[in-house]
A and B are shown apart, each in its own frame.
Chain A
């Protein structure tokens, strides 16, 4: 064992900043990270054992306790719940005799729930030993467990043929389907791969590349919308021994799966985008941070990188351009939504907990290992390739004046055609619903749990209480029909997650509670506000849902939601949005629940509260007061 650990450590130059990779290798080798291993790692990496455990205990896919031979990670995101998550969960438990969160006594089966795994268009889905199982039903869940008990290999548990496109590639072999429903300039198959690197970039100076991207007004497609050209420009001017391009492929916002599809079908564009960014900013290090949930793509993506290296599209003097040396490695995440935040992602790449950094300094100033670092979204980088190929003027013919180009929407929930829609910016909510074949719609969640819950039946899209003044979801337009609101930077900017709920859904109980659970689960815990408030607010919401709410409880929720805005990062600042946004747009649902005639309800029930002690001492509940 010692030799194996030694070998793993040496593979990563006994470098503590590579702890995530080291821990992955240990997990692969031993199934868990034992106390003995932790001691060995601590001694050689020169960090305390507590520090090693600090990193281990942060990530969902690391464990210091033995995991099972077959580990089922069932996704509990909202779209999964809409399509029978509870029944599938129950089926897994009944058939295996194991409760979720546990490993069977014989060590054969472990069941765990996990946050969004990027399969919203084909959920409920689970990851079993890194393989993805989509469209689960109770029957399929039982068959899987039966198969496991019969000693079948994971590959033998597959119940559907390989999916379309590269999902069927021998290195992928997965049942996932792409569900591309609408293509435009980005998802266009009519192009020559790596054409820009081979034929075009040498014609431009790095400054000219940046200028074209700036002119195109390309903005970050992860959701925040920072101008990409400006980011490249800042990065290119920062002094540093190395400069780093990171592609953020940690899409974790529930309801988003566009990067999955881009990486499956158009990863050449993503890698080429990184090469172009590197050329423009004179970067020499490239990293694609791949969320653990997409590990099934790892080999496939690495084969693409190998192809690029073999064809001088990576490495030294790329395509013969003197001094243009750049290579890309793939950093695997380990299960933490917060690592999609760029500075948390960088912390994670340095072997630490994925805790966002204070800004300033921004990553472009001091990022990975303190080098100037440009972090771009998968879609942004792919778009940049199209822009360089066809020019900023061409790009400007798509979209609206304030939001140029196209956006990939990940549409899921109650609709006939969930999947990826590449639309021009400026498309309205109504158009999206029509495209997706959604009927009887009650609400649309735009931008995932941290975004906005749009009430499509609403004539005026928000109430105008004073308490609402401080709460400004992206570009809230006054008195516009929600139906006509547009996906654009001036109205509703989004990373592209669109989740549709029909009229049969219980918005508060099914949707808002699920989103709050997500934020509670995924908070890094660093800020006092985000660590504590989402849970407290969820308890308050539960009180309201259970019929014990009073009017003041709604005001409390609004006021408390304000406190959380001082959190360090976007996750924290938006962690109350499911509640705030639903009060804003579905206030009547809250009003229906709260008691009108009382200003105080403590939800205290004497009989419940004394039952445990009574049964222990053996006495019956007597109501003294009666």
Chain B
């Protein structure tokens, strides 16, 4: 039974500036959804609302039908994990220290560390391939490794829903692919529901099951990549003229800019 995250008439404004207006969406349980759209369209804000990090001005985010902003924060954090965009850790922190933090919602002042925590942290480190580097300092890691360490942290949270804000930022092409492959493996292995903000439409097409496209504070279109990545939609989302072809390896939609 996978948790089901939806939102209803979600509105968010910073002061008088509207950021999201009446957004309705439904993350398909057990699938990967990409959130795409131009800069400033509200992608990150949407993900922050979905993760309970940001309170919406109006409307609700529902987890299995219950509004998350009214629930106990720890209960929600055991179901939804969120990796912020360009998350920062202080220097002097080791990979292990970071991953252990993921256990926070499962701990209480009287119960700090259990063998269950140990097992889950070891599994998370193993799945991102950092078991043997667990004692290295975060500042000594490359961009790709650092992103893996952060993913291990959210995995250690042991949730059914994973929200990732631009997990591929600052990574080269090979490492972007590497991280997205990892997300796909993890999703398949753990049956996770994943939503992530991505900038590269072609990568979104290749590695996700659904795409939600935002434009001007609202959802412009959503669905499987074949439905969303069309020439008129790309024109509407980004104002770009392009051709959409079937990529020769997987037959998935691939955009070529004009």
Partners in one complex: no
